Amino acid sequence: MKISNNKILITGGASGIGLGLAERFIKENNTVIICGRREATLKEVADRFPSIITRTCDLGIETDRVDLYNWIAENHSDLNVLINNAGVQNWMDISDPNFYKKANDEITTNIVAPVHLANLFINLKSIKTIINVTSGLAFIPLSKIPIYCATKAFMRSFTLSLRHLLKSSDIEVIEMIPPALNTDLGAIGMHDEHPPVSDFVESVFAQLEEGKTELTFGTSETRANANNEVINDYFNKMNP
């Protein structure tokens, strides 16, 4: 993937990793479009970065996903990069009375939405790159966030298959595998002790320039390359 002169859609681009990527891509002379549910948050980002293009939509709603694609096809038909970044993370126990509802919300946002968007956006003639943001937790789960980890394992598997399915096309499929970072994913303050998003972004940009299609950082690199013995040991330490 080339680093500059793209038109890029980043889902969940108003905060966390999505915002960090948006800011960095803008610096590299890219046109960046972000989408999210909260109009006020999108406006705050647009005020900070006047060149950014925003679109309010709820990716958990099928018609919103279709409307997003149709809007892109009509107004930004030269879009060539889709970054499936939006995600929901719920810390919960199986005995939680709202477990199923929360799980369903996570599955819809973390799996159904990016799968649907990939299926839609491959029809855009200009599309050249699809980036799916997974997680180090796709390899070794944390039991306190069981559905989130499972959705990321699904997306890891789907990304491998999608890359193979599109190998005869001109579409490159990249997996971005972050570890825990200092974001508000899950809850405000939950990840304060973890590395800043900016460090992760700088690392993955360097890897993009090297032509890598699996982008890791810190502990996600260790987990992605772990054998079964290491995975079992890691799991036991994470889930005492």
Q: What is the pTM of this model?
A: 0.93
Average pLDDT along the chain? 93
Tell me whether residue 100 is one of the annotated catalytic residues. no
Fold entry, domain 7-238:
Rossmann fold (3.40.50)
Confidence band of 186 (pLDDT split at 50, 70, 90):
very low
SS3 for the chain is: CCCCCCEEEEECCCCHHHHHHHHHHHHCCCEEEEEECCHHHHHHHHHHCCCCEEEECCCCCHHHHHHHHHHHHHHCCCCCEEEECCCCCCCCCCCCCCHHHHHHHHHHHHHHHHHHHHHHHCCCCCCCEEEEECCHHHCCCCCCCHHHHHHHHHHHHHHHHHHHHCCCCCCEEEEEECCCCCCCCCCCCCCCCCCCHHHHHHHHHHHHHCCCCEEECCHHHHHHCCCHHHHHHHHHHHCC
Report pLDDT digits (tens) over 117-167.
Answer: 999 999 999 999 999 999 999 999 999 999 999 999 999 999 999 999 999
- The reported pLDDT for the residue numbered 191 is 47
Report pLDDT digits (tens) over 33-65.
Answer: 999 999 999 999 999 999 999 999 999 999 999
Instruction: Exactly one of 69, 100, 148, 234 is catalytic; name it.
Output: 148
Confidence band of 188 (pLDDT split at 50, 70, 90):
low
Q: Is the pLDDT of residue 75 over 80?
A: yes
- What residue ranges do the domains of the chain occupy? 7-238
